[in-house]
Amino acid sequence: MNKPGHPSFLILAVTFALIAWAAFLTGSGIHYRVLGMACFYGALALSWNIFALTGAISLGHAAFFGLGAYGSALFCQYWHWSPYITIFLGGTVGCIYGFLWHLTFRKLRGAAFALATLASVEIPKVTIDNWDRLTSGSLGLVGIARLPPVNLGSITFDVDENLQAQCFFLLMFALVVIYIHFKAMSSKWGWAIRSVREDEIAASTIGVDVPGIRLRALCVSAYLTGLCGAVYAHLMGSIEPALVFSLHFSALPLVLSIFGGRYQALGPFLGALILYPADQLLFHSWFPAGHAAFYGLVMVITILFFPHGIGEWVQQKTKSA
């Protein structure tokens, strides 16, 4: 755990997974859709992991996700701004809530922190649920503006209608988050995060600003999660509190990151590329109701048998063989 992750193997694995996907992409829309959403959940998992790198497990990122979704959708609805602007406002809303977390929970660690975050999802959820005049309450928002087409020179990317363009858009989004996540592991800031994770007291004696590092990681993580929520709102076109604040969006990044490897640059993304399609293409058709049990099962098995993630596990197996 002390050494930086070895990205070479994971880069290979991720490239391989993407190429394997390319074989499926023969015109049929559903595969583009699933790959696009896999990239989306990969970005969500990476955003979650940026904060998890400081050693704190959050069970409440659905709060940022939902606030981002509602923030962006409401700005869009009331002021009719372009979704490409309001998405960033949605992220900002998530970031503000993250700052509030920092103010309230800064002394908590480990299980106490996880519990506090789990409970803190209820605050925005119940408030939005009951603020009928602004948010139309538990009925949710419908008819949210879709993402308008992007013109690049002579080529038009119709992000909403064309699934191929949408997949590409989400892949680009994921790449941006991958870059930030990479920075959170290997820049000077990344090394500071690592030192905070391993030993806070030792880190502060060598001059690492521990609360500042945690705050920055939390704000970046909350901002990106809010961004994911906002993109989700405009992709789906309708949201409701019970959906965007559901346990699903807190649990999924946790599962994907732990499965893929929390301390590796591409681990959470690899987890998403493997698990999301497996869930959607296999388990969803076998058990239409209750297919999400798959994620819970993966979570239990991963913690019990390879707590450092599939990447490191495969690496160790190949090294010892």
Residues near another protein (CB under 8 A): 57, 59, 104-105, 107-112, 114-116, 118-123, 125-127, 129-130, 247, 251, 254-255, 258, 287, 289-293, 295-300, 303-304, 307
Tell me which H or E stretch contains 155: strand 155-157
- Closest approach of another protein to the CB of residue 138, in Å: 8
Our CB check for another protein shows the closer of 121 and 192 to be: 121
Length of the chain: 321
120 or 221, CB closer to another protein? 120
- Least Å distance, CB 255 to another protein, is 7
Of 174 and 255, nearer to another protein (C-beta) is 255
Nearest distance in Å: CB 303, another protein:
5
Cβ closer to another protein: 105 or 276? 105
Nearer to another protein, 172 or 297 (CB): 297
Q: Which is nearer to another protein, 120 or 264 (CB)?
A: 120
- Identity of the residue numbered 141: L
Provide the residue type at 101 as one letter: W
What DSSP element (H or E) covers 233? helix 210-236
With respect to another protein, which residue has the nearer C-beta, 4 or 110? 110
Least distance (Å) from another protein to the CB of residue 307?
6
290 Rama sector, left if φ>0, alpha if ψ -120 to 50, beta otherwise = left
Single out the residue of 285, 235, 251, 311 nearest to residue 39, CA to CA: 235
Distance CA 171, CA 22 (A): 13
3-class secondary structure for 213-230?
A: HHHHHHHHHHHHHHHHHH
Complex with another protein: residue 132 or 161, whichever CB lies closer: 132
Token pair for residue 151?
A: 């013109």
The CB-of-253 to another protein minimum distance in angstroms stands at 12
Cβ neighbours for 128, distance < 8 A, ≥ 6 positions apart: 66, 70, 135, 137, 241, 245
Q: Tell me how far, at minimum, the Cβ of 22 lies from another protein, in Å.
A: 31
Q: How far apart are CA 204 and CA 195, in angstroms?
A: 9
To another protein, the closest distance from the beta carbon of 301 in angstroms equals: 8
CA distance 185 to 53: 8
Nearest distance from C-beta of residue 28 to another protein, angstroms? 28
Helix (H) or strand (E) holding 144: none
Distance between CA atoms of residues 81 and 276, nearest Å: 32
Which residues are registered as beta bridge partners of 151?
Answer: 156
